[in-house]
Amino acid sequence: MIPFDPIYVLFFIIILYDSYYFGIFLYQSSKKTTIQFSPQISVIVPVYNNESTIKKCIQSILSSEYDVKEVIVVNDGSTDKTKEILDSLTGVTVYHIPHSGKAAALNYGIEHSSTDIVTVDADTVVQKDTITKLVRNLKVYDAVAGNLQVSTRKGFLGRSQAIEHVRAAMFKKVAQYFDDIDIVPGPIGAFKKDIFSQVCYGTSLVEDMELTQKMREKNFTVGYEQEAKAYTEMPVTWTSFLNQRFRWAKGNLELLVKGEIPFRKILPGYLMACADLLLVLLCVITHYFLLLFLFFLFESFTMFVGNYREKTDYYAESIFFPVFMLFFDGIFLFSHICGVFSILKRS
């Protein structure tokens, strides 16, 4: 008989919570898309100092099986060799603007486009069928989030971010079930052109989340396409990684303070991060190592199955997923605490 113990209560709450959403993911990922739709598309690529990636990005778009009407690249005042590389490319329309930020570059490109929109970041590459599978959903939705994955997985940071993105893709299937997609990621997303007659990218540190929330407020529908995969570069150094996480946290908190996103959007993240870390800490302190093993086993199993359903090959990372999960739990809480202090200090 299992004794009544707060640690067991916390353990079963976490397992039941995760099992509930894992079941929804399995249901959602088993559904097949049969939509056929091929609208005219303009691909918008904002670029700032991406001399090492922009050519590969553009080549992947031009090599797409989809008949893209136009590829618009907006050079946001790059100071490296990006301009020279862009001038050497064919099959794209290039605009050069003074450095004004990613949101301004996106808005400029959208303003100069003539059809529905696909956005691709300059450090992202798409597969041949990515755009095809993404834009078919514009028959049903006003905007569609693509499945963003990591292009490299070297070292601890690379592997942790790779499996994190697979997990994020799993949660997007769950969010789609509840019609609650909260972000169309800048690196790969599709939009009906008429959306931008009512909303545009803002100056937030998380401009893609801000735009998605604006669309929600205007009652535009937002979907997700699991099979529309794009691969983006993520930070490879600890400094750039932490800067990115602090920027995301601060951006989310600023939107929260402004009332542009509801607290319920980030509350579950706080609660689950605290619950995971607390359970591990209590198990170690009280020597409940069997319970800790079962917790790790369950999380590895769900990630292993999710990895299979997402058609990725991160099996080693799936086995060690609990370690990566606890790492990101800690980073999430720490970055948001720092974000709170940063906002309070500024005010």
Q: Does some domain include residue 307? A: no
Domain housing 109: 41-154+179-234
Predicted confidence (pLDDT) per residue in 294-331, tens digit: 999 999 999 999 999 998 989 999 999 999 999 999 99
Q: Does some domain include residue 69?
A: yes
Residue 18 in any domain: the answer is no
- The CA distance from 288 to 278, in Å, is 13
User: How large is the C-alpha radius of gyration of the chain?
Assistant: 21
Average confidence (pLDDT) over 50-67: 96
Helix (H, G, I), strand (E, B) or coil at 211: helix
Location of structure tokens 């862009």: 86
Residue 246 is assigned to a structural domain of this protein: no
What's the mean per-residue pLDDT of the chain? 94
State residue 345's pLDDT score.
81
Residue 23 lies in a domain: no
Q: Would you say residue 135 lies in a domain?
A: yes
| pLDDT (tens digit per residue) in 246-293 | 999 999 999 998 888 888 888 889 999 999 999 999 999 999 999 999
State how far the alpha carbon of 204 is from the alpha carbons of 50, 73, 104, 250, 317, in Å. Answer: 21, 22, 11, 10, 33
76-122 per-position pLDDT tens digit? 999 999 999 999 999 999 999 999 999 999 999 999 999 999 999 99
Q: What is the pLDDT of residue 276?
A: 97
Quote the number of domains for the chain. Answer: 1
* Structure confidence at residue 3 (pLDDT): 56
Contact 124, 232 (CB under 8 A): yes
Per-residue pLDDT band for 347 (boundaries 50, 70, 90) equals low
Residue 138 lies in a domain: yes
Is residue 334 in a domain? no
**pLDDT given at position 4:** 67
Domain of 139, CATH number, reads 3.90.550.10
